């Protein structure tokens, strides 16, 4: 099993806009030594570490951790897509075998940010280099993803956290229509991650069923990845609870053994070239 989405941070580095002191559970260091026992207890052989700060130092930090820990199979980092030096920095990171993708933090940016001329030029470079992109968005931004895929249909990309639907309010529309439209792009994947933190604090497993059912029916098991979103998930559930929730939600879909392997391992390996 591969965990396709988790984080580390070291607050003393000083470049994290979040978490803040308002999230005391998360406002401390989270290191590989704390995650490893959880992986071992749950049969997870490796992870993809995803950036949590919009800085090159964050990417360098994660790559150092990946060098130190064999089970960190890949790193999704950050680069400034508005920079004139973007390609130079990208080529430097591509020298690291475990550098596997980029994630602009679009949920924190205005909706037209991605379509600035210099950003589009640099996005084209990522497509040409075969560098996958993680879309960190909220559900109202799903049309931005569609607009980007229309421009770069060959882009290999993944939507983090189901696009953060409003599970707490059980709002399905227009999220359902947007997801269905995006599923038509064969190089676009979606992560079954970060769902518990979009739900009410007293969530039940039934709260997630319509969202999971829709993604299974549109994207299908061949383009879904499991991710724990640890340690952010701790705001709403333990590592074990997240994993059990995902497994229980998928049981209703009578997946074959090969489809289970796709969601929990093979798709992450293929998408990130682990």
Q: Which residues of 116-137 are buried (b: 16+ CB within 10 A; e: fewer)?
A: eeebeebbeebbeeebbbbbbb
- pLDDT at 59 (0 to 100): 98
Q: What is the mean pLDDT of the chain?
A: 98
The pTM assigned to this predicted structure is 0.97
pLDDT in tens, 216-259: 999 999 999 999 999 999 999 999 999 999 999 999 999 999 99
- Interhelix angle 239-251/209-218, nearest 10 degrees: 60
- pLDDT at 54 (0 to 100): 97
- Mean pLDDT across the stretch 70-90? 98
- pLDDT at 115 (0 to 100): 97
pLDDT band at 192 (very low <50, low <70, confident <90, very high): very high
């Amino acid at each position: 099993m591969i965990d396709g989405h988790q984080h580390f941070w070291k607050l003393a580095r000083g470049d994290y806009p979040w978490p803040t002191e308002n999230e005391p559970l998360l406002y401390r260091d989270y290191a590989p030594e704390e995650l490893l026992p959880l992986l071992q207890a749950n049969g997870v052989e490796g992870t993809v570490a995803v950036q949590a700060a919009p800085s090159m130092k964050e990417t360098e930090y994660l790559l150092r951790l990946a060098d130190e820990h064999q089970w960190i199979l890949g790193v999704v980092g950050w680069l400034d897509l508005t920079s004139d030096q973007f390609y130079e920095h990208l080529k430097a990171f591509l020298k690291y075998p475990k550098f596997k993708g980029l994630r602009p933090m679009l949920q924190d940016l205005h909706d037209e940010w991605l379509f600035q001329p210099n950003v589009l030029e640099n996005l084209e470079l990522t497509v040409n280099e075969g560098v996958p992109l993680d879309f960190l968005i909220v559900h109202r931004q799903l049309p931005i993803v569609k607009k980007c895929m229309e421009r770069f249909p060959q882009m290999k990309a993944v939507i983090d956290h189901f696009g953060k639907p409003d599970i707490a309010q059980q709002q399905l529309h227009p999220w359902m229509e947007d997801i269905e439209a995006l599923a038509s792009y064969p190089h676009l994947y979606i992560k079954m991650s970060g769902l518990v933190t979009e739900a009410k604090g007293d969530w039940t497993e039934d709260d997630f069923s319509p969202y999971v059912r829709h993604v299974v029916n549109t994207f299908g098991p061949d383009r879904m990845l499991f991710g724990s979103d640890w340690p952010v998930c701790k705001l709403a559930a333990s590592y074990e609870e997240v994993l059990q929730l995902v497994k229980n939600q998928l049981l209703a879909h009578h997946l074959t053994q090969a489809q289970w392997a796709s969601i929990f391992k093979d798709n992450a390996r293929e998408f990130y070239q682990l």
